Amino acid sequence: MKRRATARGALAAGGALSGLLLLLLGAPALAQAPAPARGYTVSDEGAYTLERMRVSGPTAARLRAVWDDAVATVESALGLAIPPRPHAILAPTDDEFAWRLRDLGADPEVLPADALAVAFAGRDVLVFRERGIAEGTPAGLQATLGHELAHLALGRVEAARGAPLPRWLNEGLAEWASGHRPTRDEALTLASWAIHEELPSLDGLAERFPPHGTGRAYLVALGFVDWLDARQGGGGVRRLVSALQAGQPLDPALRAVAGGALVETEAAWHEALRSDYSLVEIFLRSVTVWSTIGVLALLAILRHLWVRRRLLRQLEAGDRTGPADAEGHPGDGAGHPESHQEPEDHAP
């Protein structure tokens, strides 16, 4: 499932943010596409079937335009084929989105309010919430579609293994396969978390993937997958997916790609994050408009205190020397007092 990324992100948290996804497993495979629901029509789009209402015409046209590129991006990234002829459903309103999810056996109450789409792996069904799509942002339709298609492809890997992938890995692979790479800002955020030992452990994320709201878990998963792919000159993701599809457990598969099990590989990634970016760069990244205003205000206060202290010192120095200075002004008994002469009488 993908959520609207206010900072996809973010991030972060700015943003962040980031994209969030949900994979629903264990549903029985469908022999054919679902029958159209009330008010919807189904059309054969060649590579997929599309279910939509009349008002969804513009989104349907956009979906046709980006479908092939999204498929090519995901298949190239993962080295996997997208399941043939997925069934896409366009829900034009929030109520329709929630109703279609319930109709397919999902509970919309467990999803974030800004969820964009849900992929039903094993059933090859995608449900999109049109209202949340925002073209020109990471929440655009092509990125969202690629993300969900990656979930369908990874569902085939899980079926071949007979076991699910760790949630963080499934999410990170799907986000990476859609074409998302950590931005400079996101990379600095990860480095800052590593330096301050605030990165959640991947092993912990495997036990319970955190709620969607923060986005931190998704950025961590994406960052690790991106770093893993770059190891040994690139291609790490495809090698990892191939090993997993062949049935290897995660630790042996990671050893083949990165030279160590999950614990060692994760430690190496943390070390790389700490060494790739300077503390100055990370500090400057964390500077915001409000923190800049705060620093300027602090400098103004310090300057005021310095000026006040200097004036007090000058006043104290004046008290020690008395009411006149050292050059002999009246009051210190030194120097040359003024002379006053009486006016002369002039005889007439």
Joined tokens for residue 153: 């492809």
Residues of the chain with pLDDT under 50: 4-31, 212-214, 280, 282, 287-289, 325-348
Could you tell me how many residues make up the chain? 348
pLDDT at site 175: 94
pLDDT at site 25: 41
pLDDT at site 301: 84
Contact residues for 141 (Cβ-Cβ < 8 A; gap 6+) = 59, 62, 63, 66, 128, 133, 135
pLDDT at site 13: 35
pLDDT at site 23: 45
Per the prediction, the chain carries an average pLDDT of 80
Give me the CATH code for the 2-277 domain, please.
Answer: 1.10.390
If DSSP codes are grouped into helix, strand and coil, which group holds residue 148? helix
pLDDT at site 2: 63
pLDDT at site 281: 53
Our CA angle for 3, 173, 223, nearest 5°, is 85
